[in-house]
Amino acid sequence: MQVLINTAVANLTTSFLWFGLTFWAYLETRSVLATGVIGGTYMLFIAFFGILFGSIVDRHRKHRVMVLSSVVTLVAFLIAGGIYLAAPDGELSSLGKPWFWFFAAVILLGSVVENLRNIALSTTVTLLVPEERHANANGLVGTVQGVAFIVTSVFSGLAIGFVGMGGTLLIALVLTGLTFLHLAFVRIPEEKRVAIAGDPQRTFDLRGSIAAVSAVPGLFALIIFSTFNNLIGGVYMALMDPYGLTLFPVELWGVVFGVASIGFIVGGLLIAKFGLGRNPIRTMLLLVVVMGALGSLFTIREWWWLYAVGIFLYLVTIPAVEAAEQTVIQKVVPYERQGRVFGFAQAFEAAAAPITAFLIAPIAQFGIIPLLRSPEGRELWGWLLGDGEARGIALVFFFAGIAMIIIAVAAFRTPAYRILSQGYQRGAETAVAPSA
């Protein structure tokens, strides 16, 4: 519980600053291209570092890995603070100046390193929790992360609205320092790692990651299935905040998003209570279909309550989708290789979001949004989307959701889905955690 709470506070801090950066960037530039590039870069960093993070988690004790994550994040945020103070007036928020991009990149790097801790947390579930309770524990992880997500959503908007980017950065620095101090007193019961015969000792073990995934029939397909929500997630990453900031002032948008994010907690609690059923893969794909339907419909009219309810229901599904993948990996992959598998999955899945974010942001900024604001565009799409300032973003959301549904339904008919489902239900290749 101490590891879980410490990780929750660390996630809250990095998400708080990440959300604040996104809000601040859009309000200063009024460019969905800027938010799309920032969001896409964040996911690109996760994809790039996923294999490295997984290898580090497998090579070292989990507490040491978490301490490393805290130190790197703290240093990165300190550098960002230096850039904020050193930038000439007016240049930090100018897209044409390097200050803006250096500032954003350092914050993103510090936030991404937090994912090293999250991979370590997934493996500590295997280490400390009985196998039959893995799904429930993963649901609890989702619940705690949901609490952090809500607090972040509310206070990021309030912080940017009332104390600006400088005050937001200062709050993140204080919280990161406190998390590091608490972690110094936490102990994780873990035996010293013993090398597995034939397991190469590489810091960046791409070959070992691929071998660990390939050793389990259908596991690569599971990772592909898990990218489905990230494909549409790239669209939301680029356009969800601009849409919300069109409907609400920044302070109110943060509160609305935070209240709607209670869905994250509800979804996590449901999994913690009831688990994922006999076939977590089937549960995951069914919920991906639901996510696609919600994504198509929650901006079908420019009604604030429709958007808020849609976000709530969408976030209810996310903990189950994430927990399903984690539960399967924790069961079928040996503990000593789980870090690399989680890291590989994170890298592979995260790579989907930058593709859609980088692709859709300029298309929306220069093509779809101007079209839907023109008389011709309103006449062409008004029957479906109604009237409003953000109908271009709504059109993107609609078709992204339809694509999500089609892909998920098609996945049910693949041989890989049947193989992995049968293998999980038979319990072939049960992972065994070392005694603590």
Residue 434: pLDDT over 70:
no
Write phi, then psi, for 332 (nearest 5 degrees). Answer: -100, -10
pLDDT (0 to 100) of residue 435: 38
Q: Confidence class of residue 137 from pLDDT cuts 50, 70 and 90?
A: confident
Q: How far apart are CA 217 and CA 182, in angstroms?
A: 41
How far is C-alpha 243 from the geometric centre of its chain's CA atoms? Answer: 19
Which residues make Cβ contacts (< 8 Å) with residue 255, sequence separation at least 6? 154, 157, 158
pTM of model > 0.75: no
Highest mean pLDDT among 133-142, 174-183, 226-235, 382-391: 174-183
pLDDT tens-digit series, residues 251-299: 788 778 778 878 888 888 888 888 888 888 888 889 889 988 998 999 8
All structural domains of the chain with their residue ranges: 2-184+217-426
pLDDT (0 to 100) of residue 106: 92
The mean predicted confidence, pLDDT, of the chain is: 80
Stretch 114-126: mean pLDDT: 80
pLDDT (0 to 100) of residue 153: 64
Cβ neighbours of 131 (radius 10 Å): 16
Highest mean pLDDT among 24-33, 175-184, 416-425: 175-184
Helices marked H in 60-113: 62-86, 98-112
Residue-wise DSSP of 233-293? HHHHHHHHHHHHHHHS-HHHHHHHHHHHTHHHHHHHHHHHHHTT-S-HHHHHHHHHHHHHH
Which residues make Cβ contacts (< 8 Å) with residue 94, sequence separation at least 6? 100
Q: Which CATH fold topology does 2-184+217-426 show? A: Growth Hormone; Chain: A; (1.20.1250)
Residue 247: pLDDT over 80:
yes
Q: How far apart are CA 219 and CA 388, in angstroms?
A: 44
Amino acid 188 reads: I
Residue 236: pLDDT over 90:
no
Q: Assign 3-class secondary structure to 224-243.
A: HHHCHHHHHHHHHHHHHHHH
Residue-wise DSSP of 68-82? HHHHHHHHHHHHHHH
Q: How far apart are CA 414 and CA 127, in angstroms?
A: 33
